[in-house]
Amino acid sequence: MQKRIVIALGGNAIQDAGKPATAGVQLMACRKTAVSIVDIIEKGYDVVLAHGNGPQVGNILLQNEASDSDRTPAMPFDVCGAMSQGEIGYWLQQSIGDEIRKRGIDKNVCTVITQVVVDKDDDAFKNPTKPVGPFYTKEQSETVSKEKGYVMKEDAGRGYRRVVASPEPIDVVEKEPIKRLVESGVLTIAVGGGGIPVVHNCDGTLKGVPAVIDKDLASEKLAEILDADILMILTAVEQVSLNYNKPNQVNLSSITTDEALEYIEKGHFAPGSMLPKIKSAVKFVQSKADRRCIITSLDAANNALEGEKGTLIKND
């Protein structure tokens, strides 16, 4: 049987740093990404994709602010997340589909606009910390907060920004159709940007909420649901490191979940950067004895599957 791998694409797989965020430039980045993804398919893996959306949803929010009027009303935050899932899914499925056809592989690609359930009582909603959207002066932020009810906080001395909660993912609403697509051989793209965060109303209906779900945690949840063998988290660096960017930096080729938890306790991994990746890796690997996680860069992904690059997280 093919080994099933859920690949969580980082932002550099969709947008090249230092280049303009035009549709054409981002599509070209996705075409480069497609080559690596199809290489993995040719190795015999059953691939499922997840991806981030930070820059893309940020640009949608900026467009919102620029056109906030009665004629072109701004969309709510959860709708902006859905819009970013659609545009990134379109770029990826077109790029991967073209690469698949070029190599004569018989496989379809499909994007699922995905809702991810969070707990409305998650502590994250009591203390929103995830900055989104444009920067404001202190005076502007006070006006925006009064007019729109946003929570505003200073962001690293650069000005004030809206902050939203980052709750834990509980479930994937579209898990059954995603399972059917994957089991029928379709390369499925899902939980883009961590998924659209939704909560259950008292009557069982769903409601979108202004929040950001970490895409690595959402990818881990999807990997468990799909009973994947491997979770691969692609980021900007080839290996996980201790003492990152310091003279005594140590790159890690393989660690156990116990070692990973020890390194977390000692504060080796930065919140909002490597920490959620390590937490996602540990959660996935510990969920079943023979599961493993690989953290590496897009360029090193194929070699990492052979054990030649990247960082492998495994059970003891």
Amino acid at 206: L
Which ranges of the chain have pLDDT less than 70?
Answer: 1, 68
**Is 277 annotated in the active site?**
yes
User: Are 263 and 255 spatial neighbours (Cβ–Cβ below 8 Å)?
Assistant: yes
Q: Where is 208: in which H helix or E strand?
A: strand 206-208
Distance, CA of 113 to CA of 133 (rounded, Å): 22
Residues 162-211 have pLDDT tens digits of 999 999 999 999 999 999 999 999 999 999 999 999 999 999 999 999 99
Q: Are 192 and 111 in contact (CB under 8 A)?
A: yes
Residue 130 bears catalytic tag: yes
Active-site position among 175, 221, 277, 283: 277
The Cα–Cα gap between 301 and 286 comes to 22
Rounded alpha-carbon distances, angstroms, from residue 152 to 5, 20, 87, 160:
39, 28, 28, 6
Q: Based on the residue annotation, tell me whether 251 is a catalytic residue of this protein.
A: no
Is the distance from CB of 31 to CB of 98 less than 8 angstroms? yes
Residue 20: its pLDDT value, please? 87
| Phi, psi values for residue 288, rounded to 5° | -160, 145
Q: Output the pLDDT for position 68.
A: 66
**Dihedral (C-alpha) 50, 55, 59, 61: value to the nearest 10 degrees?**
70
Catalytic residue among 52, 53, 215, 221: 215
Catalytic residue among 11, 192, 193, 310, which? Answer: 11
Spatial CA neighbour of 124 closest among 155, 163, 85, 152: 163
pLDDT of residue 54: 85
Helix/strand/coil for 18: coil
pTM here is 0.94
Q: For position 64, what pLDDT does the model report? A: 82
Q: How far apart are CA 8 and CA 295, in angstroms?
A: 10
Residue 208 has φ and ψ, to the nearest 5°, of -70, 145
- 63-82, pLDDT tens digit by residue? 887 776 778 888 999 999 99
- The helix/strand/coil state of 269 is coil
Dist CA 226 CA 223 (whole Å): 5
Residue (of 30, 94, 47) closest to 228 by Cα position: 47
Q: How far apart are CA 184 and CA 172, in angstroms?
A: 19
Question: Using an 8 Å Cβ cutoff, are 298 and 238 in contact?
Answer: no
